[in-house]
Amino acid sequence: MIKDLLATTPIPFPGKPTELRLQQTTTRQISLLSGNLVGNAKSVVGGVSARIFSKGVYGLASAAETDLETVNKVLKAAAENAEFLGSRAPQGGDNLPPLVPCRKEPQKVEPELTQKTLLDFCRELDAHITATYKNLAGRSVNASSLTTEKLLYASNGDTPVVYSHSVVPRTNISVSLTANDPNGSPVSLGKAFGGYGFFHELFSSPEALYQEVAILFEKVMKKREGVHPNAGRRQVVIGSEVAGILAHEAIGHTVEADLVLGGSVARNYMNQLVASELVTLVDFAHTVQGKPTPVPVIVDDEGVLAEDVVIIENGVLKRYMHNRASAHRMGYQAQGNARGNIFSDEPLIRMRNTAILPGTSRLEDIIASVDDGYYLVRSSNGQADTTSEFMFGIAEGYEIKNGVLGRAIRDTTISGVAFDMLKTVDMISQDMTWGSGGWCGKKQTINVGMGGPALRCYVNIGGR
Amino acid sequence: MTQREATTYALEALQQKGAQLVSITSSAGYTEELNADIGEFSLYRTLFNSSVSLKVIKDGKKGSGVTNSFDKTALDEAIAAALAAAEAGVVDEDEGIAEKTENKTFTSGVLSADKELLFQRILEYMNELKKNYPKVNLEQFIAQYVNNNVLLMNSNGVELSSHSGFYDYSSMFSGHDGPLSTSFNGYGGTFTDLSTPLIDFGMMRTVFEDTVKSFHATPVRGKFTGPVIFTPTCVGEFLYNVMRLFAGEAPLIQKTALWRDQLGQQVASSKLTFGSYPHDPRIICGAPFTNDGYLAADMDFIKEGVLKSFLLSRYGSKKTGLPRSANLSGDLIVAPGDANLAEMIAGIEHGLIVNRFSGGAPAGNGDFSGVAKNSFIIQDGKIVGPLNETMISGNLAEIVQNIIAISQETVCDGGSVLPWIAAGGITISGA
């Protein structure tokens, strides 16, 4: 555990808004590629960073060691950087709205996990796949155990008023299966399991995943016989996992305040109807329905107490996501969206756990209502645009003909203009699920939660 | 400890603890980074960087450990982690480390930062942008100087080191004119001196000019199959995917790579020649040695359409029985063609010129689809207007066979040298 460095040796802060963050990111990783152990590593990356706000700009410095001498060194370097930039290009004063004092201790303590435990689990799962499924061209089994521990001191001036110590684990086991199509070309489908939690909390035994792997195998067998979609604008049912990336990519990025200030189309839409009245979109801080979110944030990396941000309520755009500076500039209150990935990263405006809220329809009724379209189950990647034009890769999907699921489709991409597409949403399912392992790559790659129900809407789909 | 002390300590400690083969790669340096958001300076960041990566093979089993500290306690923890991983591992006779070769030290780039001049160049860039392209909003600009010292030592006696320093920048921007706005776009590159205004670097001005031509974008009508000219800003991504999917290490080990039996055979149009050339003088601070401890050499991937190399490390080579790559740096250079860009455009009856591709991850067989961003429609040999909500779909293996023309003109961004490439047989569909 990271020690409270300032408990015994108070260090004077520079009289300006300052964050001092000690952080350690521990990763264990296993990669089995068709039975070959190609990855077997433990990584510990940690250190300290200091960020100081002065004349409307920030200075930041970081180093790998966390002793008092190094902490003083990075505080000094951060102050010099703030002075360098502030003296040449001042953007304002030294003040930000004051932080609310708080003290938070970690809710979890990392338990012992050995590399052998993780590797044995993966090897047993891999051996099961090899023994059970004979007509695969390739397979991979990967494990990733990531624990991020942070200790943040944040001040309005000379003295830290925020002390936030957190330990956030994420563990994923992912399986990818490859089969050859009738022409001998590879067709792959993968799935990640797990999410927020330590390994032992999420994975009891390899056997517990066998049924999931059996389903994945059936799906890849269907996909190898799959067809290219008929390219163009189509009515689709977006499955809950894809709805999560829709919430994140298509809508979430356009309402991050830095992108709004940069010219996102959402700057024109505050308090306007931007979606079907069925749509409510929330960026959750740490708790949903009494359970932790995939990426719980209690206090963000600027020292702001995190709370839920209701972005769209019944179709009306209500809030943007902010850091302290953007909230100050635009006249709002920051709600805990500033996060940095590793210790040396400055906090950026980031989504945390973004989801469209469930509706009242049943998934089977939504599918049955589509005469000619597609059911899109799993995404691969995605990207947003400041115009709200989005795209997601689709790794798993099926034709819908006369309300019945048909042939699988090959990998494809869907796109649309979010604030147009959202107005075509006319059915939302009553169930809601969170993805197992979301990531966002805005300057720094950081983990995020993405979730939602199934939706019926219109999108553009790539194909032939 | 110093970087060398930490590297030597880890190497010796692992051998003393029973590892038969050990390879250590360490790095140390610093980064000076200036950021601007919405056209205003926002952050100056200094990073004191360090890392140590340990690879051990004990009784034929591999394990790895990583720390970013030269502190003895952190090193001891990484050493213990690497050994524990190896002891938990499985015997793989294809594992190993680089054989003894001549020890070498390389120096490249500029070894100290001129942060005052860097600041002035950024200021000049932002002022020039406001003056010449007032309808372009600079959403984010990041410029940095990176100083990095890499030391690789292994238990076979290999010792390779490099000292490098370079500047780079990246920019993200979009056009705004009253209620109209364009898709965002980005551009940047790597360089070693600050003698040239940043706005004159590579395709920067061209990309700004394209942005202000993009306000009245419309989708293509319907769906058709036709040619696309890929600009240098997206050629690199396509060719990286071609090599990764059809000749990369993971699909080769899985025996699913389409080109696994095609070395020395025609896999692409004879117009296409490209490869990875870390020693080319146009490449800034190309990696002089590989992560697994071999001196890097320039390498053709495809020469006149013939597959010349795979992307394989030492391990991948042993595992597949195929030749190891001469480098794995991805310093991509595509040989220019014999057409000029104006002629290429004039030769297209109905097609697109695509500046940025925003698409799903291509499938293992090369199928791809995605949105043509910051792109234009070509009609009867002329660029007639900007596009939005238009998708392109095709297959990468077919695209490299269906190359119509490659431009004489190329663009260097410090990490690659790329031309415009026109290819046919692509499905183009509008909203």
A10 touches chain B (CB under 8 A): no
CB contact under 8 A, B137 and A34: no
CB contact under 8 A, B393 and A89: no
Q: What is the rounded CA–CA span in Å between residue B290 and residue B292?
A: 5
Contact (Cβ atoms closer than 8 angstroms) between residue A422 and residue A251? yes
A200 touches chain B (CB under 8 A): no
Give the pLDDT mean for B296-300: 97
CB contact under 8 A, B365 and A181: yes
Q: Is the pLDDT of residue B371 over 90?
A: yes
Which residues in B lie closer than 8 A to residue A139 (C-beta atoms)?
254
The listed range with the strongest mean pLDDT (A384-398, A432-446, B12-26) is B12-26
CB contact under 8 A, A231 and B429: yes
Give the pLDDT mean for B269-288: 97
Above pLDDT 90, what percent of chain B? 97
Residue A70 has phi, psi (to 5 degrees) of -70, -40
Largest interatomic CA distance in chain B: 73
Contact (Cβ atoms closer than 8 angstroms) between residue B146 and residue B29? yes
Contact (Cβ atoms closer than 8 angstroms) between residue B194 and residue B172? no
Q: Closest Cα to residue A434, out of A455, A450, A454, A453?
A: A450
Q: Closest Cα to residue B71, out of A241, A5, A284, A70?
A: A70
Which residues in B lie closer than 8 A to residue A40 (C-beta atoms)?
62-64, 85-86, 88-89
Q: Is the pLDDT of residue B431 over 80?
A: no
In this predicted model, what pLDDT tens digit does every residue of B162-213 receive, in sequence order? 999 999 999 999 999 988 999 999 999 999 999 999 999 999 999 999 999 9
A308 CB contacts (<8 Å, ≥6 apart)?
A282, A283, A284, A285, A335
Which residues in B lie closer than 8 A to residue A389 (C-beta atoms)?
183, 371, 388-389
Which residues in B lie closer than 8 A to residue A258 (C-beta atoms)?
37-38, 139-140
Q: Would you state the structure tokens that stand for residue B19, as one six-digit string?
A: 């590892």
Q: What is the rounded CA–CA span in Å between residue A311 and residue A283?
A: 7
B236 CB contacts (<8 Å, ≥6 apart)?
B332, B416, B418
Give the pLDDT mean for B389-402: 95
Q: Closest Cα to residue B238, out of B129, B117, B400?
A: B400
Q: Count how many pairs of residues, chain A against chain B, have C-beta atoms within 8 Å.
A: 282
Q: Can you give the pLDDT at residue B295?
A: 97
Q: Can you give the pLDDT at residue B218?
A: 94
Q: Closest Cα to residue A50, out of A349, A303, A346, A443?
A: A346
Which residues in A lie closer than 8 A to residue B40 (C-beta atoms)?
89, 91
Q: Can you give the pLDDT at residue A179?
A: 96
Q: Closest Cα to residue B8, out of B175, B119, B153, B140?
A: B153
Residue B127 has phi, psi (to 5 degrees) of -70, -45
Which residues in B lie closer than 8 A to residue A85 (C-beta atoms)?
34, 41, 43-44, 119
A68 touches chain B (CB under 8 A): no
CB contact under 8 A, A47 and B68: yes
Sign of CA dihedral A269, A275, A277, A280: negative
Q: Is the pLDDT of residue B399 over 80?
A: yes
Q: What is the rounded CA–CA span in Å between residue A355 and residue A377?
A: 16
Q: Closest Cα to residue B405, out of B331, B358, B346?
A: B346
Q: Specify burial of residue A434 (Cβ count, 10 A radius: 0-12, 13-18, 19+).
A: buried
Exposure b/e, A31-45, CB count within 10 A at least 16 = b: bbbbbbbbbbbbbbb
Q: What is the rounded CA–CA span in Å between residue B149 and residue B26?
A: 8
Q: What is the rounded CA–CA span in Å between residue B66 and residue B26?
A: 10
Q: Among B256, B260, B398, B426, which would you mutate to test the A interface (most chain A Cβ atoms within 10 Å of its Cβ)?
A: B256
Q: What is the rounded CA–CA span in Å between residue A136 and residue B65?
A: 32
In this predicted model, what pLDDT tens digit does every residue of B62-87 receive, in sequence order? 999 999 999 999 999 999 999 999 99
For residue A415, what are the CA distances in angstroms to A389, A418, B290, B372?
7, 9, 39, 11
User: Residue A93: beta bridge partners?
Assistant: none
How is chain B split among helix, strand and coil, in percent rounded to 5? 25, 40, 35
Q: Can you give the pLDDT at residue A436?
A: 84
> Of B62, B85, B119, which is closest to A42 when you measure between CB atoms?
B85
Residue of A nearest to B80 (CA): A42
Q: What is the rounded CA–CA span in Å between residue A132 and residue A127?
A: 8
Which residues in A lie closer than 8 A to residue B181 (C-beta atoms)?
263, 265, 386-387
Q: What is the rounded CA–CA span in Å between residue A456 and residue B109?
A: 55
Which residues in B lie closer than 8 A to residue A140 (C-beta atoms)?
250, 254
Give the DSSP H/E element, type plus range, for residue A152. Answer: strand A138-155
Lowest mean pLDDT among A17-26, A88-97, A168-177: A88-97
Residue B261, Cβ neighbours under 10 Å: how many?
10
> Of A45, A188, A443, which is closest to B68 when you measure between CB atoms?
A45
pLDDT grade for A47, boundaries at 50, 70 and 90? very high
Residue B200, Cβ neighbours under 10 Å: how many?
10
Give the pLDDT mean for A376-397: 91
In a 3-state reduction of DSSP, which class is residue B70?
coil
Q: Is the pLDDT of residue A211 over 80?
A: yes
Query: How many angstroms separate the CA of residue B68 from the nearest CA in chain A?
Result: 5
In single-letter form, the type of residue at position B221 comes to R
Q: Among A48, A139, A386, which would you mutate to test the B interface (most chain B Cβ atoms within 10 Å of its Cβ)?
A: A386
Determine if the pTM surpasses 0.90: yes
For residue A462, what are the CA distances in angstroms to A394, A417, B239?
10, 15, 21
Contact (Cβ atoms closer than 8 angstroms) between residue A346 and residue B37? no
> Of A42, A187, A416, which is closest to B65 when you measure between CB atoms?
A42
Q: Can you give the pLDDT at residue B430?
A: 87
Which residues in A lie closer than 8 A to residue B361 (C-beta atoms)?
380-381, 393, 395, 411
Query: How many angstroms separate the CA of residue B338 from the nearest CA in chain A?
Result: 31
Q: Specify burial of residue B213 (Cβ count, 10 A radius: 0-12, 13-18, 19+).
A: middle
pLDDT grade for A386, boundaries at 50, 70 and 90? confident
Q: Would you state the structure tokens that stand for residue A22, as one six-digit string?
A: 């000690």
In this predicted model, what pLDDT tens digit does every residue of B106-143 receive, in sequence order? 999 999 999 999 999 999 999 999 999 999 999 999 99
Q: What is the rounded CA–CA span in Å between residue B173 and residue B125?
A: 13
Query: How many angstroms separate the CA of residue B61 from the nearest CA in chain A?
Result: 9
Residue A404 has phi, psi (to 5 degrees) of -125, 140
Residue A439, Cβ neighbours under 10 Å: how many?
11
Contact (Cβ atoms closer than 8 angstroms) between residue B7 and residue B23? no
Q: Is the pLDDT of residue A108 over 80?
A: no
Q: Can you give the pLDDT at residue B357?
A: 95
